[in-house]
């Protein structure tokens, strides 16, 4: 009997899942934080001090991401969503590549680089233009400075987004932890929440992370290779 039929499967993704698409990760040898300081670019203070500098960095990243396409790991998660009754994708990524691949239900913990929010009137809207005509971009309603709708260090995640992710984690029976260094809180706690509630953890990451010692199974390979293979081998065990 397929005992796992109705068991909720959850995936938590990080920057590593987009690495094979050409999107730089944050940490590690080729990571963004090697050449750029998070304190100068990814905090509300940094933005208040120097919005031009922060926007130059985000404009460059938007341009880079715009030239990237989803890879087999993103597409495998689309197949999981389309095939399974009970699958949830939680991502820390702001690049939109899960949606570009075709994932419809994505919990975006850290927001989206393709959405802007006004620091004046709080207007929020999608803006996928690359390049943006003016930097920093301005709000059409109040003239205030727009910022990327992402979560910076020291900022709280949206309450409803975090609650949803926490709930899903606590109900998971298997959580796939894919391409994250698992050091940024509160995202890094989600696999442990799942495990404490009885879930099996499966990590897909070429490198060791603080999550590795908790994982029940580890694939030390690029996600674009290991995830499609894992899914091809196990999809028959899940309710389709």
Residue numbers at the binding site for ligand BJW (CB under 6 A): 14-16, 19-20, 25-28, 31, 42, 92, 94, 110, 150-156, 179-181, 183-186, 204-207, 209, 222-223
Residue 95 and residue 150: Cα distance in Å, rounded? 10
Q: Considering the complex, what minimum distance in angstroms separates the CB of residue 200 from ligand BJW?
A: 19
Best CA proximity match to 88, nearest among 74, 67, 104, 71? 104
Stretch that binds Zn ion, among 31-39, 73-81, 111-119, 161-169 (CB under 5 A): 111-119
Q: Considering the complex, what minimum distance in angstroms separates the CB of residue 16 from Zn ion?
A: 35
Q: Considering the complex, what minimum distance in angstroms separates the CB of residue 239 from ligand BJW?
A: 27
Secondary structure (3-state) at 75: helix
Residue 143 or 210: the one with the smaller Cβ distance to Zn ion is 143
Strand-strand pairing, 111-118 and 146-150? antiparallel
- Taking CB under 5 A as the criterion, the residue among 79, 123, 145, 189 binding Zn ion is 123
- Taking CB under 5 A as the criterion, the residue among 89, 101, 139, 201 binding Zn ion is 139
Is the four-CA dihedral 160, 165, 166, 170 of positive or negative sign? positive
Residue 132 or 170: the one with the smaller Cβ distance to Zn ion is 132
Residue 139 or 190: the one with the smaller Cβ distance to Zn ion is 139
Catalytic residues: 110
- Taking CB under 5 A as the criterion, the residue among 53, 142, 232, 237 binding Zn ion is 142
Tell me the H-state helices in 67-143.
72-83, 97-101
Task: Please calculate the CA angle 42-45-48 and round it to the nearest 5 degrees.
Answer: 105
Residue 82 or 155: the one with the smaller Cβ distance to ligand BJW is 155
Joined together, the tokens standing for residue 230 give: 């894992």
Q: Considering the complex, what minimum distance in angstroms separates the CB of residue 160 from ligand BJW?
A: 15
Count the neighbouring beta carbons within 10 Å of the beta carbon of residue 4: 15
By CB under 5 A, residue 145 contacts Zn ion:
no
Joined together, the tokens standing for residue 148 give: 């990327």
Sheet holding 200-204, edge to edge: 106-108, 87-91, 9-13, 174-178, 200-204, 217-219
Q: Which chain residues interact with Zn ion by CB under 5 A? A: 118, 120-121, 123, 139, 141-142, 144
């Amino acid at each position: 009997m397929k005992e796992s039929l109705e068991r909720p499967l959850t995936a938590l993704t990080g920057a590593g899942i987009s690495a094979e698409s050409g999107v730089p990760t944050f940490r590690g040898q080729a990571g963004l934080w090697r050449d750029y300081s998070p304190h100068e670019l990814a905090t509300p203070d940094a933005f208040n001090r120097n919005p031009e500098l922060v926007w130059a960095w985000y404009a460059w990243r938007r341009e880079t991401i715009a030239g990237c396409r989803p890879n087999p790991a993103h597409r495998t998660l689309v197949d999981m969503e389309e095939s399974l009754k009970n699958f949830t994708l939680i991502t820390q990524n702001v690049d939109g590549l899960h949606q570009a691949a075709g994932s419809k239900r994505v919990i975006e913990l850290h927001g989206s680089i393709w959405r802007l929010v006004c620091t004046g009137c709080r207007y929020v809207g999608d803006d996928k233009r690359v390049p943006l005509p003016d930097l920093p971009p301005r709000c059409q309603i109040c003239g205030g400075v727009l910022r990327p709708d992402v979560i910076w260090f020291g900022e709280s995640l949206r309450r409803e987004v975090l609650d949803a992710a926490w709930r899903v984690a606590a109900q998971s029976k298997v959580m796939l932890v894919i391409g994250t260094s698992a050091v940024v809180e509160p995202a890094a706690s989600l696999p442990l929440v799942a495990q404490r509630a009885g879930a099996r953890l499966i990590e897909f990451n070429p490198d060791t992370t603080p999550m590795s010692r908790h994982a029940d199974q580890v694939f030390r390979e690029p996600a674009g290779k290991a995830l499609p293979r894992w899914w091809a081998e196990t999809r028959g065990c899940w309710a389709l």
